[in-house]
Amino acid sequence: MLEKFKDISERQFSNRLEKYTNKLMEQFPEGAKNNWGTARKAINVFLENAFYNRVLAKKYKLDKLETFLELPLDSNVIRKLKKHAGRGNLPRWNGIMDLKPEDDEKFQKYAKDLANKKGFSRIHLDLEFWRP
């Protein structure tokens, strides 16, 4: 799968991310096949771990994806994003299983803007947010 993310543009990345999110959802058991948020988080965590793995990053040129990678969302990350954004400025969070693409897009946009203000890419917010 990682070879599909090698040397691609932001648009291609976005399209492939959506493709693999949908492919993973198809593998979920009945009753969970519409769980877009869980599939998206799993793909994002996989890509994040591959990005931080120096052997994989070098082999698949994943360092070039740094500005494209999404922030894997969970309740801890959302709590930190909302703390920065202030009340009512981000969508309601009902858990990863209820995450819809349109809300994910809003969270990702805010994360990207916040990270840019801090001087780095949004993927690195995961490291900052999970520190005590």
User: pLDDT tens for residues 31-81?
Assistant: 888 899 999 999 999 999 999 999 999 999 999 999 999 999 999 999 999
Number of domains in the chain: 1
Q: In whole angstroms, what is the distance from residue 65 CA to residue 46 CA?
A: 13
Q: Can you give the residue range of the structural domain that contains 39?
A: 2-129
Q: In whole angstroms, what is the distance from residue 91 CA to residue 85 CA?
A: 11
Q: In whole angstroms, what is the distance from residue 72 CA to residue 38 CA?
A: 10
- To the nearest 10°, report the CA torsion of 33, 49, 76, 112: -90
Q: Which residues, at least 6 apart from 2, have a Cβ–Cβ distance to it below 8 Å?
A: 50, 56, 59, 60, 62
Model-level pTM? 0.92
The pLDDT > 70 percentage for the chain reads 99
